[in-house]
């Protein structure tokens, strides 16, 4: 088990509180036994202070708030308590749709089903009623409702994306300002910074709890458009963290994304996989890989980007995955500090899975590459790396079948300008082992014919206490080959 080093060291002093292994965390389930069942959590400090309710996923096509809330519930408190419902519209989140599935148009928007002004003090539908009851029982002082808009409000006034929509009450303006300052400090483009908007819509949870129960509430909105999930979830964490800090409540670091490892017993331990989804990634790689890892027993995935990585957040994970896209752009996004953090993470015992661009990122021969495996790429100059995209033949080696599954003979796999590997001859690292070879090739754009055939398609290596697997093609694009990805992750994670 890895222990947090410099990362979030402030947490260490509080780890003993409530750290009984195996104890059921306080909380419960809404609509238990139905298709809309969803857990809620109570985070206690043991000290008097504000009660803050954090709600995610009222709209199922706004996943960043749900993800952030699921992370925030593991933060350690100095005082007061948190009530967290990460996935309120769990069925909508699973389906990736805004509404609660299978409900009539009048009832399906969960965030319009709370008591309206000049109307009965009743929520509409079982799910909203369950949430409303929980609010009534917990009597929060504050409620933070995490949403996402389609566009940046400063660019497109029709969207509430990238805004905070507060109600009123003592301390509200200060809290909003703290959140805006904190999140906007991380955003370079002025038009993408968050702004304060007027007042929550009638029928929304935030408005109802304020008007009916006097709760100080606000809606926090990130923007889906052109922004990776890691960034949107991070913006929610940053805003919530700033508000909780303003209330003197939080001691955890803003990048704490899962239960601190010291609190988890070995028996309950998940395989923790960080999936890089930020600058230099492209297409559906991160999403596909996340689905595949999600099918592994006891797996936990989180999306990460350069800020978490540079802050040392990888120490919360067993392995990191860099998907397809552009290796040089991933390296540029990470910056020198982030590349150093990835390298140190692997040397200290972490696993590294690089697919296509992520494999380019791992090798030895670029000024920007991580040099965590004794392999270089060949025939990449003068645009030769652009060998083409399409299906090619691949054959696993004996070692490959031991590690990745018993795929006999040649298999068809998608290829998209992946690296052609050769030994780099690094003194300080052991030689890589080939786990599969290409048995056919693509050689467009002046690439040399004959170079790709029989070169390694998948390889593994070791650095320090850590392990590396580099995959040149895209087995994640072919369902029959998903076992290769899962077996690779299992080998990388298991000690
Ligand atoms: Zn929403």
pLDDT at position 420 is 97
- CA 347, CA 154: separation in Å to the nearest integer? 44
How many whole angstroms separate alpha carbon 56 and alpha carbon 261? 24
b/e sequence 237-261, b meaning 16+ C-beta within 10 Å = bbbbbbbbbbbebbbbbbbbbbbbb
Ligand 1 centroid – CA 415 distance (Å): 38
Q: pLDDT category, 164, cuts 50, 70, 90?
A: very high
Structural class in CATH, domain 270-493 = alpha beta
Given a cut of 90, whether residue 158 has pLDDT beyond it is: yes
Contacts of 9 (CB under 8 A, 6+ apart): none
Average pLDDT over residues 285-303: 96
Which strands, in side-by-side order, build the sheet including 81-85?
27-30, 38-44, 81-85, 51-56, 142-149, 216-223, 163-166, 195-196
Residue 378 CA to ligand 1 centre (angstroms) = 48
Task: Give residue 25's pLDDT.
Answer: 64
According to CATH, where is 3.40.50.880 located in the chain?
Answer: 270-493
Beta-ladder partners of 467: 351, 462
How much distance in Å is there from the Cα of 149 to the middle of ligand 1?
A: 7
pLDDT at 282: 87
pLDDT recorded at residue 85: 98
pLDDT at 16 over 60: no
Chain-wide mean pLDDT for the chain? 94
Q: Using CB atoms within 10 A of its CB, is residue 96 exposed (0-12), middle (13-18) or buried (19+)?
A: exposed
First-last CA distance in the chain: 9
Cβ neighbours of 434 (radius 10 Å): 20
Q: What is the pLDDT of residues 94-126, one digit of tens each?
A: 999 999 999 999 999 999 999 998 899 999 999
Which among 351, 348, 289 is positioned nearest to 318, based on CA atoms?
A: 351
Average pLDDT value for residue range 420-430: 97
Helix axes 482-493, 285-294, angle to 10 degrees: 70
Q: How far is the CA of 429 from the centre of ligand 1 (A)?
A: 50
Q: Where are the beta strands (DSSP E) in 45-104?
A: 51-56, 81-85
> Once rounded to an integer, what is the mean pLDDT over residues 286-304?
96
Does pLDDT of 10 surpass 70? Answer: no
What was the pLDDT predicted at 269?
Answer: 87
Structure tokens at 370: 């991580």
Angle between helices 63-72 and 229-246 (to 10 degrees): 50
pLDDT at 14 over 80: no
Q: Tell me, in angstroms, the distance from the centre of ligand 1 to residue 114's CA.
A: 14
* Pick from 2-16, 262-276, 290-304: least confident: 2-16
Burial of residue 194 (CB within 10 Å: 0-12, 13-18, 19+) is buried
Mean pLDDT of 68-89: 97
Residue 63's H or E segment, with its range, is helix 63-72
* Residue 31, both tokens: 């609509």
All CATH 3.40.630.10 domain ranges of the chain, comma separated, are 9-246
Q: What is the CA radius of gyration of the chain?
A: 24
Average pLDDT over residues 370-391: 95
Can you read off the two tokens belonging to residue 137?
């029982």
Residue 86 CA to ligand 1 centre (angstroms): 14
Q: What is the mean pLDDT of residues 327-353?
A: 98
The neighbouring-strand residues paired with 410 are: 395
Confidence band, pLDDT 50/70/90 cuts, at residue 15: very low
The per-type count for the chain, helices as H runs and strands as E runs, is: 12, 19
Contact yes or no for 236/64 (Cβ under 8 A):
yes
Give me ligand 1 centre to Cα 68, in Å: 14
Give the mean model confidence (pLDDT) for residues 346-369.
Answer: 98
Q: Which CATH class is domain 9-246?
A: alpha beta
Instruction: Quote the pLDDT of residue 24.
Output: 53
Positive or negative, the Cα torsion across 419, 425, 427, 433? positive
What residues flank ion ligand 1 with Cβ within 5 A?
Answer: 59, 62, 147
CA distance 440 to 449: 10
């Amino acid at each position: 088990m890895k222990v947090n080093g410099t990362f979030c060291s402030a947490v260490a002093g509080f780890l003993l509180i409530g750290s009984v292994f195996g104890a059921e965390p306080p909380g419960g389930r809404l609509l238990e036994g139905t298709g809309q069942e969803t857990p809620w959590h109570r985070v206690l400090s043991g000290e008097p202070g504000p009660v803050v309710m954090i709600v995610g996923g009222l709209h199922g096509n706004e996943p960043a708030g749900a993800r952030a809330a699921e992370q925030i519930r593991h933060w350690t408190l100095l005082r007061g308590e948190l009530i967290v419902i990460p996935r309120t519209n769990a069925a909508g989140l699973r389906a990736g749709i805004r509404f609660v599935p299978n409900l009539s148009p009048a009832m399906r928007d969960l965030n319009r089903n709370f008591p309206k002004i000049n109307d009965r003090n009743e929520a509409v539908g079982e799910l909203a009623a369950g949430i409303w009851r929980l609010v009534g029982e917990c009597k929060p002082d504050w409620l933070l409702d995490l949403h996402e808009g389609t566009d940046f409000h400063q660019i497109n006034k029709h969207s509430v994306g990238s805004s905070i929509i507060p109600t009123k009450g003592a301390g509200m303006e200060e809290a909003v300002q703290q959140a805006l300052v904190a999140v906007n400090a991380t955003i370079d483009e002025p038009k993408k910074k968050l702004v304060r908007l007027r007042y929550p819509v009638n029928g929304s949870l935030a408005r109802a709890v304020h008007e009916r129960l006097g709760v100080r509430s606000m809606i926090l909105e990130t923007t889906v458009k052109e922004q990776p999930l890691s960034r949107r979830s991070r913006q929610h964490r940053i805003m919530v963290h700033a508000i909780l800090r303003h209330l003197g409540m939080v001691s955890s670091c803003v990048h704490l994304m899962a239960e601190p490892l010291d609190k988890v017993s070995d028996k309950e331990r998940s395989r923790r996989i960080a999936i890089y989804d930020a600058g230099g990634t492209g297409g559906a790689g991160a999403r596909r890989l996340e689905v595949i890892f999600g099918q592994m027993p006891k797996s936990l995935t989180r999306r990460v980007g350069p800020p978490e990585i540079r802050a040392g957040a990888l120490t919360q994970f067993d392995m990191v995955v860099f998907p397809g896209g552009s290796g040089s752009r991933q390296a540029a996004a990470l910056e020198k500090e982030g590349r150093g953090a990835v390298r140190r993470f692997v040397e200290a015992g972490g696993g590294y899975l690089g697919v296509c661009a992520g494999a380019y990122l791992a090798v030895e021969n670029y000024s920007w590459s991580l040099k965590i495996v004794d392999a270089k790429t060949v025939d990449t100059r003068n645009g030769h790396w652009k060998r083409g995209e399409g299906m090619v033949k691949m054959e696993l080696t004996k070692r490959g079948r031991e590690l990745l599954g018993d795929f006999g003979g040649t298999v068809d796999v998608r290829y998209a300008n992946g690296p052609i590997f050769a030994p780099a001859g690094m003194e300080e690292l052991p030689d890589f082992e080939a786990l599969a070879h290409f048995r056919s090739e693509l050689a467009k754009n002046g690439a040399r014919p004959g170079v790709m055939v029989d070169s390694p398609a998948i390889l593994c290596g070791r650095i320090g206490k850590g392990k590396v697997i580099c995959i040149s093609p895209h087995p994640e694009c072919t369902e029959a080959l998903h076992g290769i990805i899962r077996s690779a992750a299992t080998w990388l994670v298991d000690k």
